[in-house]
Every structure is written in structure tokens, then in C-alpha cells.
Amino acid sequence: MKYAERNGKRYEEINRQDQFLEKLYTTQWGRILLKPLTCRTVSIIGGKLLSTSLSRLAIHPFVKMNHIVLEDYKKTTYRSYNDFFTRQIKPEKRPFCKDPNAFISPCDGKVSAYPISQHTNFKVKHTWYSVRTLLRNPKLAAKYKGGICLVFRLTVDDYHRYCYVDDGHKSKDHAIPGRFHTVNPIANDFVPVFKENSRVYTTLYTEHFGPVVQVEVGALMVGKIHNYRGECDIKKGEEKGRFEFGGSTIILFIQKDRVKLDPQLLENTLDGYETKIKMGETIGWAKHIRPSN
């Protein structure tokens, strides 16, 4: 995988998760295993096993392998691996700019940025997708023509809770059932990943960036996407929900002329690099500042 830091550093890195997924999706035995592994029932069973007290035995090896700094998180006794995986970070470890015109990242992850073309198509590594196929809502998709698509890919070492990008009001959640294929880009050569994955989307009617559609995408071994509330008023930086075990993805659709995105994100994506981001980091600014009433 090719990564970029916000300071301009670029590098390639292959971790164990990437190696495993490459074998799963590119070898004959891997593809034989893929069908049962992506079955909803298998994912649910796996999620239940990771919620047992016995699963705590996996916590220490995971912390060591992924260099997790436990001091960054709220101190607690973990009842299971899933309890550990959904751990809460200390607020000061994910600060966010209080300027209302700052557009912040909703989560930790590796972000790719795409202008939504006149055909409303965008590319995720080697596979083309559209806003329409993700949302299954042509009327809503049409509103984001000429805007920006942001894809945040979370890996197992990332913080798996996510927040709201602005004050405003959110619509009800729309759930789209699917199969739990991995969101790792390796899979995109073989499976239409985002078309198959279970996902939930909502429209955030934000005060400073207009309507923003946020999509949470489940992945292999992710049994649940937890969004805490339905239609409600929201606050910037407030926790929106969390994923259980596995790599996952959050996608944002922003309308045309609403956000001036950090050009570095677009440049990195164009060059084939994902940019590493933390929840709360400023990644853009309101393009048109509205006067207060």
C-alpha cells in the first residue's frame, strides 16, 4: 500500500492484514474460502465469539503487533476483544478546530479524495463506482454532481469510533444490507466491494457546509455498525457511532462549492497514495462563509 503523511512524507508499507487479504483474494484457495467468510451468518458468529470473555486472550498480542498506546485511551477493564476494539480514546488525543468554518475528518483512517465528475463516477483504486450505486438513490446522488467524494479506509489499528463534522441536523438512517467483503483495495480487482457491503447512510444538514451525505460501510467480520441516534440535532465533534471488529470505511459526499479541500489530499490520491488522517484533523474550509442571522 502507498501512504502519505500530512507533512508530505510518502512511503510504501505492506502489513500482515494486507498480506492476508492479498492471498485471500488472489489465490485459488483464498477465493474458495471467500464465499463462506463473507456470509452474514459467519460474520455474526464471528462477532459473537469476539464478544466472549475468552476473546480477551487476543488483546495483548494485538496491542503489541499494532503498537497501540493504551495510555491514549480511557482506563477500563475490557470484558472481551470487541469491548477492547471499541475502546474510547481520551478527548485530548483527538482535538478538533473550534473554528466553525473548519471541515474536520470524521474518523481515523487512510483518506482518498475524488472530484465527482459530470457522470457522477469516481475511482477507488482499480474499480469505478458511482454515488448512485452506493446510495441506491438516483435523486439524492444527482445533488452531489460536481462535488467531492472522500473515502476514509479504516484498518484494524485505527480508532473505530467516528464523529460529526459540523453542527446541524441529521436525517434518519438508511440501511442497505449486503455481503461483508473487505474494504481493502486489494479486493477491488475481484469483487465490486462497495456494491456488496452492508452499509448505512444519512444526510447531515450542516450549518457551514450544506447537506453532507455520510456512509458507513461494514467489512469482513464486522457484524455491526452502531449509530447511536436516529433523526436529531448534532454537534461538531460529537460521537456519531462506532464499528465492531474489522477494517471498515466511511464515505462523505459534499456538494459543489461547499468546501475548499486541502489540495494535498487530491494530489496524493491522483498519485496513487492514501493520506493518513486522524479524527478531528482539519482537511478543508467552508468555501462560502454565510453571514450570521
Residues recognised as catalytic:
108, 248
Beta strand pairing call for 161-163 and 239-243: antiparallel
Residues near 274 by Cβ (< 8 Å), separated by ≥ 6?
1, 2, 3, 4, 110, 111, 112, 153, 268
Tell me the angle at which helices 16-26 and 28-37 cross, rounded to the nearest 10 degrees.
100
| CA atoms within a 13 Å half-sphere pointing along the CA-CB vector of 94 | 27
User: What are 140's three cell numbers?
Assistant: 439524492
H helix intervals, the chain: 16-26, 28-37, 40-49, 59-66, 81-85, 131-135, 138-142, 193-196, 263-270
